[in-house]
A and B are shown apart, each in its own frame.
Chain A
């Protein structure tokens, strides 16, 4: 027994020493994240499978499983289909294509690698972009037989725009072109021509067969004419030095850590630069300055923070910074501020871009309302021509103007990724609609918005009708009584000789908004149009009633802004949903419940009740006549109805 223990202890001591040495060696290793990209079927997934296989990183059970599945699907006869190692989804295996990004891990003596396999299909470009946004290096695959396709160029364009530092052009399937040098040289030349047009500074070209393993790990025996590195040699030696370390210190405040009155720490990840205790700091956008007092960690304070670290910083002075603000080094060279930008956008939704629609824009830890006010052009990735466009469709890349509701701090994406990259989020479906790269601030005023001089103005028109025009904006769930009450009100107005009009789905949807899809965020676009139409009718001297659900408070804020606060009366129909359901003769809610109609407020979408409506009614408590009388009294009190 005691002998056993000594042997065990010895083994353990030996293990400890070995593991220590090993772990020290691991500590020296750098991390490289790379993607494979390029056209459909160029061999991206096969390459990754081959890399994993040849690096002996597959476990026996994984290999066994791979053999079984390969046989079952029969994609490579009785041979192993390496693509199946990464194409893990049932749909991918059935169709033999990659649909979404896969992340795989391997390491060599020199490095740790995270390899991101991306789909080649144009339909899944947004997934490719997801991978590319996280990569330091891109392996762009080209099928030696096919040459450069539109999709190859699209991916080259995207990795270049996103600032992926290193590009490898892998001319694959060399086995199918007799390992010929001429073909390789020709394709490299083609790519060079294209790369210059997109300002790509450099790339490394490697002839390869992912399937057979030529120039993947080992130098190929079939291509003596090629003397450059194999893919793996290149991956092992390419520089990973990151210039963000050298840039000015920036840390977006993610979260304020305030466990008690004595501690107040700003938590976040340093996106660039470094900072030492005692260094001066400016919080943007407030411009308040202080000094770094301490860097808190559970294992004791640090005296310096570096780019890439997630930290908790305490400042010398009680300055008020909150989520989304940016802590910056010193007081010079600070990020710019603007509410108007030149941007490059990759549109990622099946629903095309609508100019003017409000989105949430997330940049760093900051979220702000924003809209694309103009699309300048889309880029034809094949010819690189700029084509003027009113919109962007799925997977199109365009240059646009974006305006934010409030000014934000930023830096051009080319200078600092995390300070200039953003996403647009749909306000209704919450989907991520686009990725964007800020080029620079835009000085505005190129929108041609001359106001037309009218000889008869709004006041004159109103006087003639002996009323003060305004918009009565009804908001509430479907079947809550908006149109019902608006009609009762209009009858009373009409009887008094007032000039009015009702805008209701019944007269708006078939015409003005017939191009909109009401099961999507087009609802917001409709509200925008109705608000503008109301404003024009008010200008014409009319009293307008609108009857649209307008479930989100920002939509109503937008309408109020367009129409003008002084002309805007908000009426909230707060009828309990049971009563609305009872009114639902067309089975609208029932269909929504069954999921046949989407984005119906109160069913699968939230309704944000107004916090301060001018009047609130419920069909439970008010008859339409009573409600109309109350509104009439309110209008009289406001002096709208004249004498």
Chain B
């Protein structure tokens, strides 16, 4: 008797969720952050709806401080797969010159990412948005449903989540509400890497170790991706073999020193890793329970 492997089960579950959304909501969109989870989510979506085209557009909220390689990769993927891509930047934030250096990571993330996202969802009239978040990322995510409802102002009410029974998803929402859907809820970081490896999914090269110019700040290696990063006294960019376990805004994302320049080596390193991938995201260090607070405010 043929049985499904662990990854087969996760894949089937994710595809089922995506099709359920397309069948039940009017105007879905897929968040595309260009990271590895987005890469897997896109791959799953292409499988779910093949041979047809993706029945929804992809949305990238560009904070203006993404790694240059991410933008290049995004545009290449769009060329290769021909999906509809919406790129949104918070114009108000741009006009106000919001940046992580002068305003701090919290303000920058809030205005350029959280507010930018709300603007883009409102402008597109999207009533459901797929996200690549996983429950293994941190304790708040571990509590979230696959179909997660947001109020008119995009806030999350964690104490009032709908029961979610079997794989029967209730996609009916009230006026003004929208849904975040997380098809990869039950995947772990390791599952993502294994799947990328087995399915040969293209990812941004930043995940692979290479010599890159970095400075060390408060114990974190920050890549000098362009000349907007103000160097502090005595800081001189050094070339180091580094890679990223998670990707975001380059001034806010820590690199790890690594020689893993191929996928198998990364998988090997992941197996023995002693710190979680999120530790590279500076925004999560800001305060305890920060994620729940951010999500209540409308962070994805």
Contacts and interface: CB of A to CB of B under 8 A. Distances in A.
Interface of A: 8, 11-12, 15-16, 18-20, 22-23, 26-27, 29-31, 59-62, 65, 68-69, 72, 85-91, 93, 99-105, 112, 114, 126-127, 129-130, 133-134, 242, 245, 254-255, 257-259, 263, 265, 267-269, 296-298, 304, 306, 308-310, 312, 323, 348, 360, 362-365, 417-418, 421-423, 425, 429-432, 435, 604-606
- Majority secondary structure of chain B interface residues (helix, strand, loop or mixed): loop
B8 A308 contact: yes
B103 interface: no
A61 B4 CA distance: 34
Contacts of A365: 20, 23
A576 B128 CA distance: 30
B166 A59 contact: no
B1 interface: yes
B6 A100 contact: no
Contact of A421 (B165, B172, B197, B274): B165
B166 A61 contact: no
Contacts of A348: 163
B4 A308 contact: yes
Given A16-B264, A22-B271, A88-B292, 14 more contacts: A23-B194, A23-B267, A31-B9, A60-B274, A61-B279, A105-B188, A130-B163, A130-B165, A263-B51, A306-B3, A362-B168, A364-B168, A418-B166, A425-B170
A19 B165 contact: no
Contacts of B140: 88-89
A607 B62 CA distance: 37
Contacts, number: 206
Nearest to A104: B142
A447 B32 CA distance: 55
Contacts of B4: 306, 308-309
A11 B158 contact: no
A59 B276 contact: yes
A204 to B, nearest CB: 23
Contacts of A89: 140, 143, 158-159, 292
A417 B5 CA distance: 21
Contact of B3 (A102, A245, A362): A245
Interface in B244-279: 259-262, 264-265, 267-268, 271, 273-276, 279
Given A86-B139, A89-B143, A323 B23 contact: yes
B50 interface: yes
A101 B52 contact: no
A103 B264 contact: no
A309 B6 contact: no
Given A61-B279, A90-B292, A297 B162 contact: no
Given A12-B264, A421-B168, A105 B159 contact: no
A129 B164 CA distance: 9
Give chain A's interface secondary structure class: mixed
A605 B142 contact: no
B289 interface: yes
Nearest to B134: A105
Interface pairs A-B: 4 shortest CB-CB = A88-B139, A259-B52, A19-B264, A310-B15
B223 to A, nearest CB: 21
Interface string B116-156: 00000000000000000001101110110000000000000
B173 interface: yes
Contacts of A86: 139, 142
B172 A19 contact: no
Contacts of A268: 16, 19
Interface of B: 1-9, 11-13, 15-16, 19-20, 22-23, 46-53, 135-136, 138-140, 142-143, 158-159, 161-168, 170, 172-176, 185-186, 188, 194, 197-198, 259-262, 264-265, 267-268, 271, 273-276, 279, 288-289, 292
A365 B16 CA distance: 11
Contact of B20 (A23, A91, A254): A254
A101 B143 contact: yes
Contact of B52 (A15, A100, A103, A258): A258
A4 to B, nearest CB: 10
B194 A362 contact: no
B131 to A, nearest CB: 16
B259 A11 contact: yes
Contact of A102 (B13, B143, B164, B174): B143
Contact of A605 (B163, B175, B197): B175
13 contacts: A19-B197, A31-B9, A104-B135, A254-B20, A259-B52, A308-B8, A309-B12, A310-B11, A365-B20, A421-B166, A431-B162, A432-B170, A605-B174
Nearest to A29: B6
A130 B164 contact: yes
Contacts of A100: 143, 158-159, 161
A640 B140 CA distance: 64
Contacts of B174: 429-430, 604-605
Contacts of A258: 52
Contact of A296 (B6, B13, B50, B289): B50
Contacts of B2: 304, 306
A69 B163 CA distance: 29
Contacts of B48: 267, 310
Contact of B135 (A103, A134, A362): A103
Contacts of B53: 259
Given A15-B262, A257-B52, A69 B288 contact: yes
B268 A245 contact: no
A255 B56 CA distance: 15
A298 B165 CA distance: 30
Contact of A134 (B166, B172, B279): B166
A88 B142 contact: yes
A298 B166 CA distance: 28
A59 B274 contact: yes
A241 to B, nearest CB: 8
Given A59-B279, A348-B163, A606 B175 contact: yes
B261 A432 contact: no
A105 B47 contact: no
B128 to A, nearest CB: 14
A12 B143 CA distance: 38
A114 B184 CA distance: 13
Nearest to A360: B172
A16 B2 CA distance: 27
A417 B165 CA distance: 11
A70 to B, nearest CB: 12
A27 B292 contact: no
Contact of A15 (B176, B265, B288): B265
A27 B195 CA distance: 11
Q: Identify the interface centre among A68, A101, A265: most chain B CB within 10 Å of its CB.
A: A101
B198 A267 contact: no
Contacts of A606: 175
A92 B261 CA distance: 42
A584 to B, nearest CB: 19
B56 to A, nearest CB: 13
Contacts of A8: 259, 261
B285 to A, nearest CB: 9
A417 B260 CA distance: 45
A257 B49 contact: yes
Contacts of A298: 46-47, 50-51
